[in-house]
Structure 1
């Protein structure tokens, strides 16, 4: 593999861009109609694609993505140096706390939030 990109289908690309830009404290490496990308690490990107855009590609075989709004459809698990700062920022950005920052059975200390579309984001240390 040369590059990895995880793409979230979002209701509103602009609102989601602002949410992730502020939450991650990163500027998009690409922001054009139909796709926003954030470079998380070298060769690892997080993409935001409007659900109406992906529906044009896959809706003949699968349900429209808008039918899943608010239902967690993925989890992004990010290990960061200061997870509490990320979790606190979600309040001002409209995200929801799902599970407080605490020790987990697998050895990480993790807090879970959701984004504007119900996708789960875990901040771990």
Structure 2
């Protein structure tokens, strides 16, 4: 049984220029179902398994006062200090779908030496999204 002090990873919050546009983009480009988009368009969520992918505006009084402004990459030569990673059974099809729906291709899917197929795109705010196959756990030693 988990201790009261053992946390569960609940959310990844992505700061974006336009919450409604980002929620719609992620749903269409990456295949997620929208769980929630509030009427103010200051918060949106996607169904994503045990954790939630949430979106909120770049600037909001709850966080700007505490931490300063969030910065989105200004060009293709910069990247945000976060990478969003999604796992797919068919990475090639997922990559194609993302690009057809507005994601900017960064690196085509390729087999990696650790046995995973991985490709990269940028979302509509310039954030890098890693698309990879599921990685099999190594056999446990008994």
TM-score, normalised relative to structure 2? 0.75
User: Which has more strand, going by share of residues?
Assistant: 1
1:103 correspondence with 2:107: no
The runs of 5 or more residues in structure 2 that have no matched partner are 1-6, 134-142
Deviations 1:77-121 (A, max 9, x none): 222112222211222322111111001233211001110111111
Alignment length (residue pairs): 121
Aligned-residue Cα RMSD (Å) equals 1.8
Q: 1:75 aligns with which of 83, 96, 105?
A: 83
**Distance in 1 between residues matched to 2:34 and 2:9, nearest whole Å:** 17
1:58 correspondence with 2:57: no
Q: Partner of 2:118: helix, strand, or coil?
A: strand
1:31 correspondence with 2:37: yes
The runs of 5 or more residues in structure 1 that have no matched partner are none
User: Which has more helix, going by share of residues?
Assistant: 1
TM-score, normalised relative to structure 1? 0.84
Ranked by relative contact order (alpha carbons within 8 Å, sequence separation 6 or more), the top structure is 1
